[in-house]
Amino acid sequence: MSQEHAGLTEIITTFIQTEGILVNRACFGVAGPVRRGRSKISNLPWIIDSRDLAKQLKLDSVGMINDLEAYAYGIDGLDSKDFVVLNEGSEDAEGNRAVISARTGLGVAGLYWDGYRHHPFGCEGGHSDFAPRNELEMALLSYLQKKYGRISFERLLSGPGIKNIYDFLRDTKRAEEPQALKDQIAGTPDAPALISKLAAAGTTPICDQTMSIFVSIYGAETGNVALNFLSTGGIYIGGSVAAKNVSKMKDPIFMQSFLDKGRLVPLMKEIPVSIVLNDDAGMIGAARYTLIEKAFKTRKTA
């Protein structure tokens, strides 16, 4: 786990010592905004500088991009078996694409279409303000504001977000928490995984309700991202939360929330929507970045 290390340089040192390989090129996808080759990691007390990494690896330079930007680079490196289609969209879908990914946090990236190729770029859309759509979500927002103050979508669309929704239902008496479940949650290091597992089993109403709210909000925000990036070429849902809860994501509530955009429903129906099952997409994308961008820059200077 990243929290067990003082920084990325420590991880690199351990990796090289353990694997004993010679590094010729390197690219790192990091969970935070990258500016001038430097990044303050969003959920860790780390500051990473690409120049320091290049010195450590004895390279002229290394690539450093946002982790979801790396994920976006990885999309075209995946096979058809790596996707679950939620909406086929238009047969001739073309244009910008987008990626949204819920894990320990919420990440978003875009892929600009120039008519010939897609150009991935990172952003920090996961930290945009949560926008409730009904009375239940307004009550949820009010509950979370008392705990955290400002509420971003990441407070809901992430592993910790699942637990936040569960706590809301329990504490506001909108659902009952059985004592046996209370004991289970107190004794597990991964409450969100337990909640989603019990929801899939269909035996615990509070867990099922939690995941239904989660999926509904996820669908709505995926639709927001699709509109923000005008991703007529497709939108991809990454991250372990979606990949491990495919049956719940395939529930009609996700696409209903995605499509619920008023006068733009016809446009939304034309956008392909897929879940990414391959959790290595980010690493594949970081590798592709070192090849694609190097080749592209070489052509520009030739």
Does domain 2-69+281-301 fall into CATH 3.30.420.40? yes
Question: Domain coordinates of the chain in residue numbers?
Answer: 2-69+281-301, 80-277
How much is the pLDDT for 36?
Answer: 86
**Amino acid identity, position 77:** G
Q: Mean pLDDT over residues 51-76, rounded?
A: 90
Least confident of 18-22, 96-100, 142-146: 18-22
Q: Mean pLDDT over residues 95-112, rounded?
A: 96
Q: Tell me: the pLDDT tens digits for 245-267?
A: 999 999 999 999 999 999 999 99
Q: Tell me: the pLDDT tens digits for 158-168?
A: 999 999 999 99
Q: Tell me: the pLDDT tens digits for 168-181?
A: 999 999 999 999 99
Mean pLDDT for all residues in the chain: 92
% of the chain residues with pLDDT over 70: 94
Contacts by residues 111-115 (CB-CB < 8 Å, ≥ 24 positions apart): 111/72, 111/75, 111/231, 111/233, 113/233
Q: Considering only CA atoms, which of 262, 237, 277 is closest in space to residue 87?
A: 237
Q: Mean pLDDT over residues 87-114, rounded?
A: 96
The rounded distance, in Å, linking the Cα atoms of 281 and 69 is 11
- The tokens describing 254, both together, are 């996700």
Q: Residue 45 above 80 pLDDT? A: no
The fold for domain 80-277 equals Hexokinase; domain 1 (3.40.367)
- DSSP letters for 180-219: HHHHHHHT-S-HHHHHHHHHHHT--HHHHHHHHHHHHHHH
Label residue 152 by pLDDT band (50, 70, 90). Answer: very high
How much is the pLDDT for 298?
Answer: 47
The rounded distance, in Å, linking the Cα atoms of 141 and 217 is 12
- DSSP letters for 89-152: --TT--S-EEEEEESSSEEEEEEEE-SS-EEEEE--GGGSBP---SHHHHHHHHHHHHHHSS-B
Rounded to a whole number of angstroms, the distance between the first and last alpha carbons of the chain is 43
Residue 190 backbone class (left: φ over 0; alpha: ψ -120 to 50; beta: rest): beta
How much is the pLDDT for 3?
Answer: 67
Q: Considering only CA atoms, which of 174, 249, 191 is closest in space to residue 217?
A: 249
Q: Mean pLDDT over residues 220-235, rounded?
A: 98
How much is the pLDDT for 25?
Answer: 85
Q: Residue 61 above 90 pLDDT? A: no
Label residue 294 by pLDDT band (50, 70, 90). Answer: low
The helix, strand and coil proportions of the chain, stated in percent and rounded to the nearest 5, come to 55, 15, 30
Q: Considering only CA atoms, which of 134, 172, 125, 127 is closest in space to residue 151?
A: 127
φ, ψ of residue 234 in degrees (nearest 5): 130, 155
